């Protein structure tokens, strides 16, 4: 049966409009709210308090306090030990890989121009060399190594995966 997806014009882009339009509340920075490859709605929100408490870094000050290589290690270790632990133990998941990593600026507080940086990391599950649709994990890793998971959004509430 075909699924009806309502589209909305946001910032000049046509994007899916959801019944629960804002998964992040006013105390959080919304990194994204989107559908994954399997059609599941996912969101990633970071508390402004956590952004402000994390170690600050600005590009003009040199290298970030946490290297990209260290962030990749943190993300893969977290995914193996938490999100995919049961699936790995049962043999259902055998191959997790880094799909992408990007150093991302965010507003440190709502209504502020001050920026706080974090890494946005995508870990994907692979089977026979191909990514598994909907089999990934999105993480925000702050400059103090705080890990924030993306969430699946269902109905009118957020369902955290751990």
Each residue of 111-159: pLDDT tens digit? 667 889 999 999 988 877 788 777 788 999 999 999 999 887 764 333 3
Position 53 in a domain: yes
Average pLDDT, the chain: 79
Determine how many CB atoms are found less than 10 A away from the CB of residue 2.
4
Task: Please indicate, yes or no, whether the overall pTM of this predicted structure exceeds 0.85.
Answer: no
Check whether 96 has a pLDDT greater than 50: yes
Position 148 in a domain: yes
d(CA 84, CA 78): 9
Distances (CA, A) of 85 to 28, 99, 158, 161: 28, 19, 21, 12
| Domain span at 50 | 23-159
Position 137 in a domain: yes
Position 3 in a domain: no
Q: Over pLDDT 90: what percentage of the chain?
A: 36
d(CA 143, CA 119): 8
Position 10 in a domain: no
């Amino acid at each position: 049966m075909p699924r009806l997806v309502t589209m909305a014009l946001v910032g000049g882009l046509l994007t899916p409009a959801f019944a629960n339009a804002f998964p992040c509340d006013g105390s959080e920075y919304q990194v994204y709210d989107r559908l994954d490859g399997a059609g599941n709605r996912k969101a990633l929100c970071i508390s402004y308090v956590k952004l402000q408490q994390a170690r600050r870094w600005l590009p003009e000050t040199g290298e970030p306090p946490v290297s990209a290589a260290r962030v990749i290690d943190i993300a893969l270790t977290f995914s193996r030990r938490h999100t995919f632990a049961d699936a790995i133990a049962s043999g259902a998941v055998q191959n997790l890989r880094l799909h992408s990593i990007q150093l991302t600026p965010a507003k440190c507080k709502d209504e502020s121009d001050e920026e706080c940086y974090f890494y946005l990391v995508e870990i994907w599950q692979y089977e026979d060399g191909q990514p598994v649709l909907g089999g990934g994990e999105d993480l925000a890793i702050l400059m103090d190594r705080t890990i924030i998971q993306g969430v699946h959004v269902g109905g009118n509430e957020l369902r955290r995966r751990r």
